[in-house]
Chains A and B, each alone.
Chain A
Amino acid sequence: MHTRRLKALTVLTASCLALVAAAAGACSSAKPGQTQLDVEIFGDMGYRDLYTRYEQSHPGIKIVEHVVSYDDHHKNLQAHLLGGSGTGDIEAIDGGYIAQFRVMADKFVDFRDYGATPGQWLPWKSQQATGANGQLMGLGADVGGLAMCYRRDLFAQAGLPTDRDQVAALWPDWQSYIATGKRFKAGAPDGVAWFDSGSNVFNAIIGQAPVGYTATSNKVVVAENPAVKRAFNLAVEAVQAGESAKLATFSQQWNAGFQRGSFATVACPAWMTDTIKQNAPQTSGKWDIATIPGGSGNWGGSFLTVPKQSKHQKEAAELARYLTAPEQASWIFRTQGHLPSQASLYNDPAVLGNTNAFFNNAPTGQLFTEAAKNLRPQYQGPKDGDIGPLIGLGITRVDKGKQRPAQAWDQVLKDVANATEP
């Protein structure tokens, strides 16, 4: 019985964490009279220097950061909210999980009580963290934006233009992106695909639709919404034309694909520029970035929240506001590349003027802010995070030749029904 073991494990982990937290509290340098704030995040968000600065200007505050892996972080948060204890004072939540936690918005502090106004952030960003009664449960940290990273050298070999404006002109919409892929395949070296995986293309297409998987009533509309079927059909057309490298995102083979040049384009949020650089440092200068087909998009990004379990809600909310304020977000972008979500920074010359040498000095500031700003707000339901991968699997089945598109779609609908029934 696995749940049994899982449960025992969860209990153990929780008690260990409590022990560790207690021990950390006991051993930490928080002096008597100081308030310790525990910040729990799932990756490097670039806050370390900011903590030091904040502690200097707030002598009564001691900040301790705990970093856990992406999956575990969100599972722990879920378990601690259910169990009623164990969360930190500040908890980061990824954009892919925010809709799921929004169902429990009443377990989080409403930042409007602490002076935050939703209008400080991009409209769709704040909307994602707004509960049923209008409470603002999360402050926007970074966003992904979305552009198209492409290999200049492979484009040249296939006889396509390499200049980023000319490349962007090749694909004003997804239909022309797929058509360009067919041209590319005709002239490209053997074994080089047009993009990494059909599910990434699908995600980018559906992200631009006014309605996604869920209606504002929280009803799942995958079967009824023509935009979902249209995005599925486009992605399926592309994989059937042999444009996909059939690589699962974040798998080892996908990582290796960057090194081997297995594909010529990849839908690219701001944070992925760093992924490519780390994965394939030897491809420096071979890459460039152009506008995404359709002109807008987002992938990833995160929020800061304060669970009501926190014993220092006021201090934690103040710290969260400081960490997500425009001045700090701009500094993080300039030093570490996380794209800000604060509306005021979208006219900031320091942000807009940013370029990336690894990508042939592409104007990343301009490209990513443009995509994020143009994104039409799309309502995210609590199940959206589960539904996307299930549709992705359907596209993969077509890609691998296991199913015809109609069969794959039928199974997608069956999978979605299985995932969304109570």
Chain B
Amino acid sequence: MAVLTPSSVLRRRRNTIRATDNRWSQLRHRFDLSGTPYLYIAPFFVAFGVFGLFPLLYTGWMAITQWNRDIPGSEHTFVGLGNFARLVHDDYFWNALRNTAAIGVLGTVPQLLLAMWIAHLLQRKMRGRTLLRMGVLLPNITSVAAVGLIFAQLFGRDLGLINWGLSLVGIDKVDWQSGTWQSWVALGVILTWRWTGYNSLIYLAALQAVSDDLYEAADLDGASQFQKFRTITVPALRPTIIFSVIMSTIGTIQLFTEPLMFNPGMSPTGGDSRQFQTLAMYVYEQFWTHGKYSYAATVSWAMFMIIVLAVGANYLLSRRIRSSS
């Protein structure tokens, strides 16, 4: 039996410490390799969990209750999918969906075509190119509320600049806010004004990958500006177009501030006949104006599913385009 002298105890302890040290540094090394990347991206997921995932799930929870501002205790009444069943028969929901889609098409299609053409023009070598390239982004960095207010004035019935311009060429006053088509067109113009520059910069960035030789060769062949646009620019942009279509679709489905500011008196009904009430405005009206918390949550979830469907459709479409090219 070994006698435990003080020195042997000390030695043994030192050995243990060395072993632990080794194990620690090994662990640290391993964590450094495989753990830190997760730590680096953790802030995003924490923020997403708090501000994205939790509200998403909580909204889902709200949607299966009958929570109403004016009925105390109603947040504990469960109705299952009853709210979704109601939604299917809700004319105003379908009206909002139709308005959103129509304004989206009117605001996105001309916008993306215009953005491509502008990107094509800005691709050329010319004086002040950087200034112009930056300039097209200006509408996008102005406050959306200010844009809404100013355009509401421009499209004013009695004192609006646009009606004044139309009157010069002999066209009668248009009540932009009151008519269905008129308000859709006006909102399409606002969206186009605000987002064309942004998209043309994205297209322009994609065009940097296109060799100047192609354009020069086309010049030698005597191609017109439009021919070059159609045969060189557009094919080169194809993957980017898919990206911008998806982003515009998502943005359109969430459209809110512009139509709200466009309405005189700024009520979320989108005009006296709900002619330009978008889905997001309908959620806002149900939640804040009428205090139908659960129903607003239901419409929100419907919007979420519509976005998922739209993105899915876009994805399938883009796969077909890619494989065909």
Contacts and interface: CB of A to CB of B under 8 A. Distances in A.
Nearest to B92: A418
Nearest to B157: A253
A100 B272 contact: no
Interface string B35-75: 00000000000000001100110110000001011111010
B79 to A, nearest CB: 9
Interface stretch (A318-326, A352-360, A362-370, A389-397): A389-397
Interface residues of B, number: 50
A48 to B, nearest CB: 29
Interface in B284-325: 284, 287-292, 294-297, 300-301, 303-304, 307
Given A4-B56, A397-B272, A422 B292 contact: yes
Given A402-B272, A418-B92, A422-B74, A252 B152 contact: yes
Given A382-B70, A400-B178, A400-B272, A1 B157 contact: no
B156 A253 contact: yes
Contact of A3 (B74, B264, B272, B296): B296
B300 A1 contact: yes
B256 interface: yes
Nearest to B267: A389
Contacts of B69: 78, 100, 103, 382
A251 B265 contact: yes
Interface residues of A, number: 37
Contacts of A50: none
A3 B283 contact: yes
Contacts of A420: 290
B136 interface: no
Contact of A393 (B68, B159, B272, B279): B272
Contacts, number: 102
Interface in A371-410: 382-383, 386, 389, 393, 396-397, 400, 402-403
Given A393-B272, A422-B71, A1 B51 contact: no
A103 B70 contact: yes
Nearest to A387: B290
B269 A393 contact: yes
Given A2-B256, A386-B289, A256 B300 contact: no
A355 to B, nearest CB: 32
Interface of B: 51-52, 55-56, 58-59, 66, 68-72, 74, 90, 92, 152-153, 156-159, 175, 178, 254, 256, 264-265, 267, 269, 272-273, 279-280, 283-284, 287-292, 294-297, 300-301, 303-304, 307
Report, nearest first, the 8 A-B pairs whose CB atoms are least far apart: A251-B264, A3-B300, A2-B280, A248-B265, A248-B264, A396-B272, A382-B70, A8-B51
Interface of A: 1-8, 11, 75, 78, 100, 103-104, 248-254, 256, 382-383, 386, 389, 393, 396-397, 400, 402-403, 418-422
Given A383-B290, A402-B273, 16 more contacts: A1-B304, A2-B279, A2-B303, A3-B283, A4-B300, A4-B304, A8-B52, A11-B51, A78-B69, A100-B69, A103-B72, A252-B152, A256-B159, A400-B175, A420-B290, A422-B292
